[in-house]
Amino acid sequence: MKINIPTPLRAFTDKQATVEVNGATVQAGLDALVAAHPELKNHLFTSDGKLRSFVNVYLNDDDVRYLPAAEASAVSADDELTIIPSIAGGTGLSASRALCCR
Amino acid sequence: MPTMPDLKEVALPELSNDEISRYSRHLILPEVGFEGQQKLKAAKVLCVGTGGLGAPLAYYLAAAGIGTLGLVDFDVVDASNLQRQIIHSTSTVGQLKVDSAEKKLKDLNPYMNVVKHNVMLRSDNALEIFKDYDIIADGTDNFQTRYLVNDACVLLNKPNAYGSIFRFEGQASVFATEEGPCYRCLYPEPPPPGLVPSCAEGGVLGILPGLVGVIQATEVIKLILGIGEPLVGRLLLVDSLAMSFRTLKLRKNPKCPMCGTHEIKELIDYDQFCGIAPPTTTGPLEVAQHAAVGDVPVQDGIPQITVEELKAKRDRNDDFVLLDVREPHEYRIANLGAPLYPLGEIGSKLAELAQYKDKEVLVHCRSGARSQKAALELKAAGFSNVKNVAGGILAWAEKIDPTMPKY
């Protein structure tokens, strides 16, 4: 399946906007993603392996959290996962300034 | 379809002949028409922030004939704003953003009221400011204010035309309508500060906030007129490089502590919620940032050295090593001739750096934040004498070498 990587996380996927992975479920796909790009792991999952609450994963157009089987939902090769990050920017540089450069 | 909240059943304001001429292209559009234009005139919209998103948003709303436009901003116009904040001007650099914005808005449309709120939006003033408006448009630039705006909108039952941007990518939605989800339904918690992209990955394509801000303005107009399908329960993702627009379904979370269970009944401490130090209230971030940095002699065990001290050490030919931990594209803009070790690569270059372990190592970046992180990393790796250049190359350009560009 194809996983769409948002800009803020592309720093951890060698700048790739999409990553192709194999997996029978959403969870398996995400596991394959972080196996291929280990630096992503800390950004997507908590230390006990749960998807971080500020990261949203969509299977096609649906929020995985609201699917009946959630992360265990079955996926086919044609499905797309999209990671939606929290972004707060409104003006560009001052966004990062307000968050990290004070 | 959500209808306009609280547009009182009172008589709509009349339009003068000049206004009729001005809004002619709206008036001949049946979906707006005379009554629609009157609704726009009766509407009160608050723009939170007059930056990248707020600038095009407020500008188009003013052009469209919104009767009362509130502006919240405590910042002053900086030359670096003008790459995207089209509501400000070269001639207003240094002025308060609310004053600068008012000039341009009034010049565009004298038939509207501009209400200026030259304050930092906080938990103790947000409800008071918001209560007089029908719709809030969130064009802020940090997570604390995002949650604050959301919560205030839910508490006051006012829709929030939301937009946010990062580099080449944007998001837009309409939150906090009665039937729709709120920002917390999408993002129950903010990312911890450590996981937020650093300024090395900052920056924004100047046009992008124009795209997203105008989408917010469109949603505001639709809500007022009660036409079309507003972005309620949908998140629009804009990718300006791929030039793709996607909408995803958003659900109202029945367990949302804000709009679901309503267990949050008042505004909270959003700095604490987002895990960051409270922002300054004294003025623009940039000024506060410079003032604050040099004041602390030692931060988290890392001595802070001023650019004046760095200059003196260079002049005396002291025995020390200066490292630059910015990115290569920043080095091209301005540099102090120091070897470049981008913050993200320090971990993998420790062997190369090991020769400096017992030397005095000074680390600098753009403003002093990344170099502080780098200094901590080096100290943890056993470097015995690491110092951070407070204020970074910006402070150097400010105080030592005025010919150096600031970025």
Domains and CATH numbers, chain A: 2-100 (3.10.20.30)
Please count the other Cβ atoms lying within 10 Å of the Cβ belonging to residue B112.
19
Q: How far apart are CA A3 and CA A74, in angstroms?
A: 15
pLDDT confidence of residue B287: 32
pLDDT confidence of residue B4: 59
Which residues on B lie below 8 Å from A52 (Cβ)? 191
- The bridge status of strand A2-4 relative to strand A80-84 is parallel
Which residues on A lie below 8 Å from B369 (Cβ)? 100-102
Question: In the 8-state DSSP scheme, what is residue B282?
Answer: S
> Could you tell me the two tokens for B64?
């469209």
CB distance A8–B197 less than 8 Å?
Answer: yes
SS (H, E, C) B304-354: EECHHHHHHHHHCCCCCEEEECCCHHHHCCCCCCCCECCHHHCHHHHHHHH
CA distances from B176 to B251, B256, B261, B359 (A): 12, 12, 14, 56
Determine the distance in angstroms separating the CA of B202 from the nearest CA of chain A, rounded to an integer.
6
Q: How far apart are CA B59 and CA B143, in angstroms?
A: 24
| Per-run averaged pLDDT (10 residues), chain A, 102 residues | 90 91 94 94 88 90 91 94 85 38 25
pLDDT confidence of residue B194: 63
SS (H, E, C) B54-117: HHHHHHHHHHHCCCEEEEECCCECCHHHCCCCCCCCHHHCCCEHHHHHHHHHHHHCCCCEEEEE
pLDDT confidence of residue A11: 83
Kindly indicate whether the ipTM for this predicted assembly is greater than 0.90, answering yes or no: no
* Residues of chain A numbered 28-57 and touching chain B (CB < 8 Å): 42-43, 52-54, 56
Residues of chain B with confidence (pLDDT) below 70: 1-10, 194-201, 277-296
Q: How far apart are CA B377 and CA B349, in angstroms?
A: 12
pLDDT confidence of residue B198: 53
Determine the distance in angstroms separating the CA of A32 from the nearest CA of chain B, rounded to an integer.
21
CB distance A62–B249 less than 8 Å?
Answer: yes
pLDDT confidence of residue A88: 81
* Listed residue (B371, B316, B287) closest to B74, CA to CA: B287
pLDDT confidence of residue B297: 83
> Could you tell me the two tokens for A99?
């968050």
CB distance B190–A91 less than 8 Å?
Answer: no
Q: Is A70 on the interface with B (CB under 8 A)?
A: no
> Among this protein's residues, is B365 annotated catalytic?
yes
Q: Which among A43, A85, A90 has the least Cβ separation from residue B139?
A: A90
Domains of chain B are 17-273 (3.40.50.720), 285-399 (3.40.250.10)
Among all residues of chain A, which has the CA nearest to that of B195?
A43
pLDDT confidence of residue A100: 29
